[in-house]
Structure 1
């Protein structure tokens, strides 16, 4: 779809949502919910969005796609340029990557990519879009954090630390924007049935082989929380219990517990 095919805010009453990491998993399911709820979409991912675009358009949404690496400044800027000053009613900052194995056994380029995607790119996008929302005095932001951010991630150290940043950042930004008409919600899922564990090289771990929530259910929980304007939501009863346990358990104990789940070969 060309830029001329995409209506301006003056030409349509449909709200606009921007969703990152929308080709698969939670991001795809969030974009589907937005489309089904009457939103038009700008969706971005680092893999092809052709199939996803057909699905979203089949739900009545006008869709623009961007395949880009949102770990880079140029990638994030290209997404912001695609928005082109149009009012964004909702931003679902979902793009993220995992990384398994021991920290010293990981390639530093992979480590850097996780940090730049989960932290730097996400922060840059929120800085750009969030300023516009604040200026208009309205908007909803949904960040995909994780209960992983509540505990030391033995054999997943960089990923958990990156999600600790996202979780913390969301609460601080929400407080800063509390009187502006812009809401910030963080969705904190546990293990979810997505391509995450395959891409993170964690298929042979206990957590990789364990029971997981469906991405569609996780997205529904996060979407409903965003619509209500909640500050945070943990997806799933067992994950709520794990989050509560993490709040009162010593960090050294949590690190050992995480080791049993994420150590390579622990699922065999």
Structure 2
């Protein structure tokens, strides 16, 4: 009778022990870590590989150590020169300390997302529109440094921040186009004026050289006549030397 009782208890306890053993086994992948709490208090970080968690006494929270790509929702930003734009960005970060990521903040993904949105608005609001459009690399670095410093206590490392798009309204786009067109016209006028200045300097130098040798002027005159004779033009302008015109003037009494 006692043997039958022991056999009955053994047949019940053995499946329970097997179920308890299998339920306590956890397998963590290479990029995962498990933050284990024992009776509500932090115990240790385990993984990767096979991990044993005692049911009812220990609880484990999985943490992914891979780089997270977070898309920051479009933010309404007012620049320093009072221009309203919509800016969206992407943040790359990863968990470097699973213990802090679970204990220090309730939801590190949500916290990082909200912090990225507010930081993006604050940093871009300190710059003018032209700086936003022309100096994105510097702005990306500024936002990344601020996020990295503030999330360090959460066990998070922000590796990169990229501003994807700056959306302008139609009025501002037309104003920028007019500004660019005016800038191109200004540059064209400056280039034209510089060319006129260089041409005037060259003509002055040529006139000085020709004035030193009168026969050079005569040769230049004959060369010009040769070029005019070779052109198929119906009208020919024949320049006359000034000394010849002076000889034709009537003499004063």
Q: Which category of TM-score, normalised to the shorter sequence, fits these structures?
A: under 0.3
Structure with bigger RCO (C-alpha 8 Å, 6+ apart) = 1
Structure 1 or 2: more strand by fraction: 2
Greater Rg, structure 1 or structure 2?
A: 2
Q: TM-score, normalised by structure 2?
A: 0.22
